[in-house]
Amino acid sequence: MLNMACEIAGVPFKNPIVMASGTFGFGKEYAKLYDINRLGGISGKGLTLAPKAGNPGVRVWETPSGMLNSVGLENPGIEYFLKEEAPYWEILDTARIVNLGGGCMEDYRIGAEMITAHEKKLREVGRCSIDIIELNISCPNVKEGGIAYGVQTETARQVVREVRQATSLPLVVKLSPNAENIAEMAYMCEIEGADGVSLINTISGMKIDTRSRKSVFHNLYAGLSGPAIKPIALRMVHQVAQHVKIPIMGMGGITTASDVIEFIMAGASVIQIGTYNFMNPRAGEQMTEGIKKWMEQEKVSTLEEIRGIL
Ligand SMILES: Cc1cc2nc3c(=O)[nH]c(=O)nc-3n(C[C@H](O)[C@H](O)[C@H](O)COP(=O)(O)O)c2cc1C
């Protein structure tokens, strides 16, 4: 009997395949293609307190083995999500993760409070729509010149502390690969009471149009994702795993079941699939079959046997 299940902060994942924020909407579109309840979990598009229109101009650019994106966190806002999208999440049988962003400390705190209050009310009547808050600290701090919260440990600490105080829901902090020291950042999250960390978000990159002699992106830089970043992501997951005891959601360039196994060997409890969803919309359902096959061939009956073996 093969067992792919695991648990993060008491939340069960039937398998380690989770869909990454910003590449899976809120799940409805993919549910037309396959039964998304077969997934370990889904992380919805990043939400902010107020709706955001996103960045003007070019938003995505294909690169060798990946893509750059400058979507600018376009989203309908937390209130809309809770009213219009969360009811659909209530009927799902998979771990449901809200990805929370913000431009200032109050945004993060009020956002976390709104999500928590909504969920508390539902649970009082025996219902439930959100299992975990994934805190996106890669957002620019608009009051401090736009440097992302997730670069310096002490700046990130303030956000993690504020949100930890604002919610009783399981909290996973999503780390930026642009952090000055990612292992130290993860350790800070553990000390501040996070239930887990997820990594990595996109890596800052650039594309220049040589004819106009300008960046193709309105915001100059954009986030690199996809297979090109996998070796970096894997190394960072391994480094973080040496420094924290809380569970890790690993991601960055995963496209095969073998990639998933690598991340688990580096120390991840579950993994997330992002850009590959755009290349293969059925990635989620196919990946679980691939892992099963690998486990059978290698005579591994639980993923616990290989987790963090490196
Ligand atoms: C188009 C796009 C939108 C994204 N939006 C978000 C987001 O809203 N919040 C977030 O935390 N990460 C976001 N990400 C980052 C992904 O969730 C993931 O961390 C990153 O792309 C690395 O994984 P991958 O190489 O499998 O795509 C986005 C990525 C892409 C490509």
What residue type is assigned to position 174 of the chain? K
Residue numbers of the domain that contains 94: 6-54+73-203+225-305
Q: Which two tokens stand for residue 130?
A: 């959100």
Asked whether residue 220 is assigned to any structural domain, the reply reads: no
pLDDT band at 222 (very low <50, low <70, confident <90, very high): very high
Strands 17-19 and 11-13: unpaired
What residue type is assigned to position 27 of the chain? G
| CA gap 157, 9 in Å, rounded | 20
Q: Which two tokens stand for residue 66?
A: 């990946």
Nearest ligand 1 atom, CA 198: 19
**Cβ(198) to ligand 1 under 6 A?**
no
**Largest Cα–Cα distance in the chain?**
61
**Cβ(137) to ligand 1 under 6 A?**
no
Asked whether residue 267 is assigned to any structural domain, the reply reads: yes
Asked whether residue 129 is assigned to any structural domain, the reply reads: yes
Instruction: With CA atoms as reference, report the closest residue to 244 among 142, 172, 136, 137.
Output: 172
What's the gap in Å between 124 CA and the centre of ligand 1?
Answer: 33
Nearest ligand 1 atom, CA 227: 25
**Cβ(251) to ligand 1 under 6 A?**
yes
Region 177-203 average pLDDT: 98
Phi-psi region of 66 (alpha: psi -120 to 50; beta: other; left: phi over 0): left
Q: Which two tokens stand for residue 46?
A: 């990043």
- Report pLDDT digits (tens) over 41-99: 999 999 999 999 999 999 999 999 999 999 999 999 999 999 999 999 999 999 999 99
Asked whether residue 194 is assigned to any structural domain, the reply reads: yes
Nearest ligand 1 atom, CA 73: 8
Write the residue with the smallest CA distance to atom 3 of ligand 1: 22
Asked whether residue 214 is assigned to any structural domain, the reply reads: no
139 given a catalytic annotation: yes
CA-atom Rg of the chain in angstroms: 18
Assess whether pLDDT exceeds 90 at residue 145.
no
- Report pLDDT digits (tens) over 3-27: 999 999 999 999 999 999 999 999 9
| CA gap 243, 224 in Å, rounded | 26
What's the gap in Å between 225 CA and the centre of ligand 1?
Answer: 7
Asked whether residue 65 is assigned to any structural domain, the reply reads: no
CATH code, domain with 295 = 3.20.20.70
Assess whether pLDDT exceeds 90 at residue 159.
yes
Asked whether residue 279 is assigned to any structural domain, the reply reads: yes
**Cβ(52) to ligand 1 under 6 A?**
no
What's the gap in Å between 20 CA and the centre of ligand 1?
Answer: 6
Name the domain count of the chain.
Answer: 1
Asked whether residue 138 is assigned to any structural domain, the reply reads: yes
Q: Which two tokens stand for residue 213?
A: 């002699």
Region 31-39 average pLDDT: 97
Instruction: With CA atoms as reference, report the closest residue to 44 among 86, 98, 6, 84.
Output: 98
What's the gap in Å between 79 CA and the centre of ligand 1?
Answer: 22
